[in-house]
């Protein structure tokens, strides 16, 4: 079932929210905090070809699939969006998102700018939010603090961030994540305001 900008034609009641930004910006932490404050919010579970980290579980953190399985899902048209980020593919299942939007859930997608542009093209009323670190040095420090990055992978992530910033003008909102609590509150405020705006638009539509 295709997505469209018309809520009524698909019975869509929930909001679709895209959250983009570099690895290390704190997107996952913001969403975790927001879901504690916004009971109607859920976070999409992406499909990825990246191998799971020790603390990750299939079906909860990601749907982990082989490159061949992912390619077959692409050919079957199962993705709302998909993109290659560094060495791995990531994708959002259209069926997963549609089911929850039709239930009235607000669905957050934690995806990169390539995916964000695909979602905007297929679902124009999606809300796009970009999360930035307070500085590039702060981002470097956060990534190094993970103890999972080599110098090469660190440079690749920072270069990817510099490229992503070029698309900031295509996003509806920007959150600078300096203090996590404030960033969570800002995200919640944006979601509430956008829902109010959408409701007004529907009432006058």
CATH number of 38's domain? 3.40.50.300
Helical ranges in 23-150 per DSSP H: 27-37, 67-75, 94-102, 113-122, 136-145
Residue found by looking up tokens 């990601």 in the block: 62
Q: Is the pLDDT of residue 135 over 80?
A: yes
Q: How many domains does the chain have?
A: 1
Residue 3 falls inside a structural domain: no
Residue 4 falls inside a structural domain: no
For residue range 4-13, what is the model confidence (pLDDT) as tens digits?
A: 443 333 567 8
Print the domain residue range for 131: 11-203
Residue 123 falls inside a structural domain: yes
Distance CA 100, CA 127 (A): 16
For residue range 177-205, what is the model confidence (pLDDT) as tens digits?
A: 999 999 999 999 999 999 888 877 766 65
Say what the pLDDT of residue 8 is: 39
Residue 64 falls inside a structural domain: yes
């Amino acid at each position: 079932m295709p997505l469209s900008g018309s809520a009524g034609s698909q019975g869509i009641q929930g909001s679709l929210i895209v959250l983009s930004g570099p690895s290390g910006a704190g997107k996952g932490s913001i969403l975790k905090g927001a879901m504690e404050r916004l009971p109607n919010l859920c976070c999409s579970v992406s499909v990825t070809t990246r191998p799971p980290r020790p603390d990750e579980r299939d079906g909860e953190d990601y749907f982990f699939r082989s490159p061949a399985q992912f390619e077959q899902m692409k050919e079957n048209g199962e993705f709302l969006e998909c993109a290659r980020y560094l060495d791995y593919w990531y994708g959002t299942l259209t069926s997963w998102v549609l089911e929850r939007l039709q239930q009235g859930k607000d669905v957050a997608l934690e995806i990169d700018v390539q995916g964000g542009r695909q979602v905007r093209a297929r679902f124009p009323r999606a809300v796009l939010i970009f999360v930035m670190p307070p500085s590039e040095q702060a981002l470097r420090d956060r990534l190094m603090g993970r103890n999972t990055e080599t110098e090469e992978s660190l440079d690749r992530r920072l270069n990817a961030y510099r490229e992503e910033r070029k698309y900031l003008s295509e996003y509806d909102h920007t959150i600078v994540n300096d203090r996590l609590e404030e960033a969570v509150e800002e995200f919640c405020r944006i979601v509430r305001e956008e829902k109010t705006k959408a409701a007004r638009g529907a009432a006058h539509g």
